[in-house]
Structure 1
């Protein structure tokens, strides 16, 4: 057998050393893990992730950092994760807008299903129609009457595509015209509601909980067909007279495409372990989170179903592409 030339042998060895090595579950993580929230600090996603991060750090044996990168309906932060190395050290926690963005935003620089690896569905949650404490309407019936009496004079704040859908679905089903006021996150909406600069807004239960408890804003209705145990006295929008209204938000964790399955499974296991901690579970449930966790494969199916939902909503004219 002919000897391999020394130069060729060195080149082969160099290529072998440079090739990416499989990530083993027991080898990850060996340094801090960053969870990127693509919205402003103080919003529902941010509050949820920060409540979860301490328990994840204990489960993983590494520091878990939360990083906010808001803008463009969550797409700026999502793009950063899509372009990151698929090594498990930068993961995205996003809402239903993650999938919906491909139907409402032109020239999205990534494809939500293709360019991400599902890790875990973290929670579902109802959204809330909230009102400023200084607003003249105290329930949905009074809001609808005021909007019919003076079309396009009442604003409603939204912070992402899914929450925008919730608000616009309400106006369509209620047969009224209101003015959507887009914000960069839930916290600015709540600040303007508290200050009386904005009459109504759509928020997650997670984001709004502390302001509701302090009496700074009012909850007019929840978006799901069942009331939330966090706010048992707040009617569903269907109960309040908006027939056919049913919508829920969700939080999910994903990594860049190509994330090793062992890393996704390890993080999913860490999420499950964290939520077994009674203190963490109580804290998250106390801000309105419905802690129904899905594993990576289950989340992949869930996201495909969500994508089909938004594709149909787009065909039906319930959501429109931004100009």
Structure 2
């Protein structure tokens, strides 16, 4: 008889319990890879993911498809990925709301515990945008109008991070506006273009084509420096909202048990994809900052972001939805 019990031997060989996952590491990807975007089609996250997917298909030698699962501030789609088989064939592409959501709503998952970091894809400034039909043409005009008639001007938001951007603006500007939640950036932009919504908060990625066509106006960017994509648009701090500084980001994560080898290989594929000229040019043209991070760096970045939202909750800048 072997000196070690069979149970002990099995405990020391965890790969025996998951042979499919081990095989997937060697031959990954074995079938089409899905990028799940937890927001409606046409928004910034969706546009970015679709721009990335074509190049990833070329690099990975497998079809990469984008799947939209909007709802509940992105948490419905996140839950799908948290519960998925960790075989490297389903990834989540999300914004900063992925981390922030745990401070504003009840979740069936924990953003840091239940996901494996893969790659930070992009950082980007957000924009305060206005309908062409709105009577104000700059931040000073909006602030004056809001002070003259408190809670009569609406602003559209599409996720928790963008909600924070809008509410931080009203707090620092000392005005009262009405937040109008949407299921994605595209419906906000549609209502801005149609004149049904006076103001909205968007990523540069989502808003660029509408700004170029003159259908909406950009009043200010959320970062402390102007974006090269819209050099004529002032920062909100320059426009009179002192202390305003906020940037959005896109990241890719997988289920918590995703093998580290697959996470690394997907990150490497992302880096190679971003070196393809047509992909890089397309993403740069819509305002994406393509400074990526790998799994280990992204893990630290997400922990820092979590600490930021914990402090924002303590300071009363974000509140939990009942």
Please classify the TM superposition score into its range, dividing by the shorter chain length: over 0.9
Cα distance, 1:209 vs structure 2:
0.4
Question: Match for residue 44 of structure 2?
Answer: 44
Question: Match for residue 235 of structure 2?
Answer: 236
Unpaired segments ≥5 residues, structure 1: 3-7
**Residues 121 and 41 (structure 1 numbering): CA distance in 2 closer, same or farther, change over 3 Å?**
same
Whole-Å separation in 2 of the counterparts to 1:19 and 1:109:
26
Q: 1:258-273, aligned counterparts within 5 Å?
A: 258-273=257-272
Q: 1:276-291, aligned counterparts within 5 Å?
A: 276-291=275-290
Q: 1:199-218, aligned counterparts within 5 Å?
A: 199-218=198-217
Cα distance, 1:23 vs structure 2:
4.7
Question: Match for residue 254 of structure 1?
Answer: 253
Question: Match for residue 20 of structure 1?
Answer: 18
* SS of residue matched to 2:141: helix
Whole-Å separation in 2 of the counterparts to 1:30 and 1:89:
8
**Residues 322 and 112 (structure 1 numbering): CA distance in 2 closer, same or farther, change over 3 Å?**
same
**Residues 238 and 31 (structure 1 numbering): CA distance in 2 closer, same or farther, change over 3 Å?**
same
* C-alpha RMSD of matched pairs (Å): 1.6
Question: Match for residue 157 of structure 2?
Answer: 158
Whole-Å separation in 1 of the counterparts to 2:115 and 2:17:
22
User: Conserved in 2, the CA contact under 8 Å of 1:23 and 1:260?
Assistant: no
TM-score normalized with structure 1 length: 0.94
Whole-Å separation in 1 of the counterparts to 2:14 and 2:207:
53
Question: Match for residue 5 of structure 1?
Answer: none
Q: 1:35-74, aligned counterparts within 5 Å?
A: 35-74=35-74
1:220-264 Cα offsets, whole Å, 9 max, x none, are 000000000110100000000000000000000000011000100
User: Conserved in 2, the CA contact under 8 Å of 1:97 and 1:161?
Assistant: yes
User: Conserved in 2, the CA contact under 8 Å of 1:23 and 1:262?
Assistant: no
1:258-305 Cα offsets, whole Å, 9 max, x none, are 100010000000000001111110100000100010000000000000
Unpaired segments ≥5 residues, structure 2: none
* SS of residue matched to 2:144: helix
User: Conserved in 1, the CA contact under 8 Å of 2:24 and 2:30?
Assistant: no
Whole-Å separation in 1 of the counterparts to 2:320 and 2:53:
34
Whole-Å separation in 1 of the counterparts to 2:225 and 2:23:
43
User: Conserved in 2, the CA contact under 8 Å of 1:40 and 1:185?
Assistant: yes
Whole-Å separation in 2 of the counterparts to 1:72 and 1:195:
25
Whole-Å separation in 1 of the counterparts to 2:37 and 2:232:
31
Q: 1:1-323, aligned counterparts within 5 Å?
A: 19-21=17-19, 22-23=22-23, 25-106=25-106, 108-323=107-322
Whole-Å separation in 1 of the counterparts to 2:278 and 2:23:
32
Cα distance, 1:19 vs structure 2:
2.5
* SS of residue matched to 1:309: helix
* SS of residue matched to 1:319: coil
Cα distance, 1:16 vs structure 2:
9.9
Give every structure 1 segment of 4 or more consecutive aligned residues whose post-TM-superposition deviation is greater than 3 Å.
Answer: 15-18, 23-26
1:197-229 Cα offsets, whole Å, 9 max, x none, are 000000000000000000000000000000001
Whole-Å separation in 2 of the counterparts to 1:237 and 1:41:
28
